[in-house]
Structures are given as structure tokens and as C-alpha cells.
Chains A and B, each alone.
Chain A
């Protein structure tokens, strides 16, 4: 398992549903567990960017943090 925290750029405390490969899964600010590999990340709100990242070499203590821009 890999570990990921998604945050909104400029509003790091805002809680919104996260989209993983197009499906709602978890919320921003939470440490999520996902499979290793390429993953498409966004948040379920209008104007949110979509990022494709490679999720690898993370641990529970050191999760990957991804910032999503919402315009």
C-alpha cells in the first residue's frame, strides 16, 4: 500500500471529496491508502485541476502530499 494526502492549493485545511481515477474516494487532508503506480487525482468540485502522479515509495509516516489547484 502507498499513502497519499491531497490538499487544496492555498486552502490547505479545506475538506472536499477526493477523486481517484474518476471515482470519489476519501477526503482532502486525510491520509489515504492506495495501490502503487500511476493514479489520476482531482477533487469533486467545479474548476478543480486533474493531476496524474506516480505513487511510489511512500510509508505511513512519510505519505506523498499533492496540491490541487481549484480556480
Chain B
């Protein structure tokens, strides 16, 4: 019997966690199928972190958007009836929001699936009980160096929330961006093939549940997710054949963001960094907004769309579902300084909320700049401008701070940040979101143009 247990423990400890796979020689980019969409509109949705509160708020927003009609003319001039949710082109998710973002891409035609699999489930209880109910999981956590709490969570999400779906199972539209944080670089890592290219790895075979586990791996509570960095270190001469890298290097002294980009590329290229560790995306951006800002830069998706006179952009919509809460802080009413837990919370969450607010303001300012250029182009009938058809961009923030009702605002601020919401808490979010959408002036302005 003892021998059997020892053999079992050795076997369990030898089972490596599921890493990303190396790109094969016949690797091909996933084929993008053309989908019937309003080609003159570009719609981004960012879903913030905040555990089940964020997942529920994000999901409810999508449910409401699904009931907002969106009518447009296709290339042949035919009138197409759709809805606002189905017209979203890019979904960016962080932590709790990454679950809703991924689920939207997989289950958008049967909205109840995600409620049953995630929102209505006490996920944190399930995760806590796993090592007790299934002792071999507990053994593996104790005796294996490469199996930790995060692996329990990742396998749970993979099996029970995303039915073992990998990135190859995602539809071409909308594009999913699950964001995490590279711990050593303190930079955003998005689960896209572009980032997996840095690891010389194939995203297609990677489980979506694992990506969400990384995106929600809140430090201390959960360990990071590790990815393998494959391939050989390339010499500088080969690296500089990449125009994007070479030009970023050229601009790195004047532009610190280009410098960060170069450092990141060089870090990934140094293949002695064989294991890359990723944690909660909220450590650098807890609203999933940075990727949208980056796409305003040269050769970003928004930049290319704004420069394209072949299909002039008519409508730019950026929707920020922010599940952040404004809790009353009493720490300065006491002489005693905050304890370790509070200090961790201040440094990881409170300061990040301020930075995220600034990111949102940056997006609004970038949109406002485009609007000014578009107004000038129309006024001067500027034939060289690509923005002649651009409507005033829509920056929509769905956040409880915008509620008119003080009681609702107070009730929302008391919602916990955890992977469990009780029925009353879910009902509160379900009732608050339609109000936020109805009270949002940019949503109302958008509705007037899409119906």
C-alpha cells in the first residue's frame, strides 16, 4: 500500500503543468473568416477587473447591448439589422472581466451558459475545496514544485467554465484580448499570436481557461502562470532586420514607451529567460484600457482605420465597463497606521484605480483630438483628410460612480471583490447596469445614430 502511495506521489509530482507549445515548422496563422459587420464602424469594449462583480457587470452590459438594435448598410447598400453587442469588434478583459470577455466570444449565442458556469457559481469555494475533496490534487500541490494554487484554478476554469476550449476555437469576430502582467518587466502581456510570437509559441493550442487564470492571478492569493520561452537568442544584426524594432530603437531616446518596447523585445529574445511568469493583468492596468491606447499609435488598429481613405471610418466607439467601487476609507480617522493587508490593497488596487482613470481620460482626449481634426476637415472641405465622415467619437463609461441614485451607489459600493456573488448581489448588478446604460449620454447619442 505504502509503495503504491509513493508511486502515486512520484507520478503526480512528475506531471508537468500544461505549458504553451512551441511553434511547429508548419505553423500557420489562424484563418480569418469575413463576417458581416458594419465596416465603417470600429467598436471596442474593455471589461475591468473586480472578480465576480466585474464578470457579472460585464455580462449584464452585453445582455443589455444585445437588446439595442443596430442598423447599418452593407457594402451592397442593403440594410442590415443587428444589435450593438454583435457589432463589437474587439473585447479586452482583465481579471474578472477576462472571463466575461472570453465567454462572450464563445457563448454569445446562448447567454445563459456563462451565468450557469460562472456567475451563479461559488467559484472560490469550489477552488478552496478542490484539494480537500480530491486529495491527489492536495498531494500534488504539496509535493510538486510546478503545481500550485493557480494550477488548480486554471484547470477548473479550463474544464468547468470554458469546456477545454483553446484559442483556436474562438470565432474570427470579435477579437479577444485577455490581458495579464509580465512580472519581471511590469508590462502588459496580451494573449494574442503577436505576443506568443515573442515566445516562439503557438497560441492556438493554449487553453482559454489558463489565460483567464493568469489574468486573474492576484499576487499573494494566487501564484503566477508560467509560459515557456522557446527558440534561440537572435543576434542584434538579425533583430534589426525587424523594421518595427529598429525604428523603435531609433526613437527610444526621445520616447520612453519605445524604449520600454525595445527592452521587452530584447528580454524575450534572450532565451536564457526560459520561463516567463504572468500574474493579474490589473497590476499594470485594471480596466483593459492600455491596449486601446496603444492602438492609437502608429500602425495600431485605430491608427490604420483613421488613415484609411479606402474605407473611411464613420464611427469610433470605445466602451469601458468599469466595475470599480468607491468604498469609504476610514484609515485616516485612526492614529494607528494601516496593517499589511491594507497597505497591499492600497499599493495594488487604490493607486491602480487612479492610473486607470488617467488612462480613460487619455482615451477621451485622443478621441477629442480626432473629433477636432474631423470638424476642421468638414469645415474646410479638406480632400486630403481621411476623417471627413467621422462622427464625434463615442466614449462610454459604464461605472456605478455615474449613478444618480445615492442609495444604489451606496449598495453597489458594498459589493465584495471575490469569485462569489450571492443572488441578491447578482440581482443588484443586474438592475443597476440597465440604469447606467440608460443614463449615459453617449449611449443615447449612439442609439440615435444606429437605429
Q: What is A's interface to B at a CB cutoff of 8 Å?
A: 1, 5, 20-27, 29-40, 52, 60-61, 63
User: Of the candidates B251, B310, B382, which one forms a contact with A37 in the assembled complex, judged by CB atoms under 8 Å apart?
Assistant: B251
Least CB separation from A50: chain B residue: B243
| A27 in contact with B310 given A22-B243, A39-B298 (CB within 8 Å) | yes
Chain B contact-residue range equals 20 to 34
Q: Decide if B250 touches A33 in the complex (CB within 8 Å).
A: no
CA distance A35 to B304 in the complex (A): 12
| A1 in contact with B369 given A38-B251, A60-B376 (CB within 8 Å) | yes
Q: Decide if B251 touches A25 in the complex (CB within 8 Å).
A: no
Scoring B247, B255, B298, B306 by chain A CB atoms within 10 A of each residue's CB, the highest score goes to B298
What is the 8 Å Cβ interface bit string for chain B, positions 70-85, against chain A (1 contact, 0 not)? Answer: 0000000000000000
Top 7 A-B pairs, shortest CB-CB distance: A22-B243, A26-B307, A37-B251, A31-B384, A32-B307, A35-B298, A38-B250
CA distance A32 to B370 in the complex (A): 12
Q: Decide if B298 touches A30 in the complex (CB within 8 Å).
A: no
Q: Decide if A30 touches B386 in the complex (CB within 8 Å).
A: yes
CA distance A35 to B254 in the complex (A): 12
Q: Decide if A21 touches B307 in the complex (CB within 8 Å).
A: no
Q: Decide if B243 touches A25 in the complex (CB within 8 Å).
A: no
Minimum CB–CB distance for A56 against chain B, Å:
9
B159 sits at the interface (CB 8 A): no
Scoring A29, A33, A52, A63 by chain B CB atoms within 10 A of each residue's CB, the highest score goes to A33
Q: Decide if B299 touches A26 in the complex (CB within 8 Å).
A: no
Chain A residues near B382 (CB, 8 Å)? 31
User: Of the candidates A25, A30, A31, A63, which one forms a contact with B304 in the assembled complex, judged by CB atoms under 8 Å apart?
Assistant: A25
16 extra A-B contacts, CB within 8 A, seeds A20-B299, A37-B258: A1-B369, A5-B384, A21-B244, A21-B298, A22-B244, A23-B244, A25-B303, A27-B308, A30-B384, A31-B385, A31-B386, A34-B303, A36-B255, A37-B251, A39-B247, A40-B243
B373 sits at the interface (CB 8 A): yes
Q: Decide if B247 touches A38 in the complex (CB within 8 Å).
A: yes
CA distance A24 to B305 in the complex (A): 11
User: Of the candidates B244, B303, B307, which one forms a contact with A30 in the assembled complex, judged by CB atoms under 8 Å apart?
Assistant: B307
Find residues 294-338 in chain B having any chain A CB closer than 8 Å to their own CB: 297-299, 303-304, 306-310
Minimum CB–CB distance for A55 against chain B, Å:
9
CA distance A5 to B251 in the complex (A): 21
User: Of the candidates B247, B299, B373, which one forms a contact with A25 in the assembled complex, judged by CB atoms under 8 Å apart?
Assistant: B299
**8 residue pairs A–B, Cβ–Cβ below 8 Å:** A20-B299, A21-B244, A25-B299, A26-B308, A30-B309, A31-B384, A38-B251, A60-B376
Q: What is B's interface to A at a CB cutoff of 8 Å?
A: 243-244, 247, 250-251, 254-255, 258, 297-299, 303-304, 306-310, 369, 373, 376, 382, 384-386
Chain A residues near B373 (CB, 8 Å)? 33, 60
| A25 in contact with B298 given A1-B369, A30-B386 (CB within 8 Å) | yes
Chain B residues near A36 (CB, 8 Å)? 254-255
Q: Decide if A21 touches B306 in the complex (CB within 8 Å).
A: no
Minimum CB–CB distance for A37 against chain B, Å:
4
| A25 in contact with B369 given A31-B384, A40-B247 (CB within 8 Å) | no
Chain A residues near B308 (CB, 8 Å)? 26-27
User: Of the candidates B247, B250, B386, which one forms a contact with A26 in the assembled complex, judged by CB atoms under 8 Å apart?
Assistant: B386
Minimum CB–CB distance for A9 against chain B, Å:
18
Q: Decide if B298 touches A20 in the complex (CB within 8 Å).
A: yes
CA distance A22 to B240 in the complex (A): 13
CA distance A35 to B258 in the complex (A): 11
Least CB separation from B258: chain A residue: A37
Q: Decide if A27 touches B309 in the complex (CB within 8 Å).
A: yes
Chain B residues near A1 (CB, 8 Å)? 369
Chain A residues near B244 (CB, 8 Å)? 21-23
CA distance A1 to B298 in the complex (A): 9
Least CB separation from A55: chain B residue: B298
Q: Decide if B304 touches A21 in the complex (CB within 8 Å).
A: no
Chain B residues near A32 (CB, 8 Å)? 307, 386
CA distance A32 to B386 in the complex (A): 8
Minimum CB–CB distance for B312 against chain A, Å:
10
| A33 in contact with B247 given A20-B298, A39-B298 (CB within 8 Å) | no
Chain B residues near A33 (CB, 8 Å)? 303, 306-307, 373
CA distance A25 to B250 in the complex (A): 20
Minimum CB–CB distance for A59 against chain B, Å:
10
Minimum CB–CB distance for A49 against chain B, Å:
15
Chain B residues near A60 (CB, 8 Å)? 373, 376
CA distance A61 to B377 in the complex (A): 10
CA distance A34 to B254 in the complex (A): 15
CA distance A63 to B337 in the complex (A): 56
Chain B residues near A21 (CB, 8 Å)? 243-244, 247, 298-299
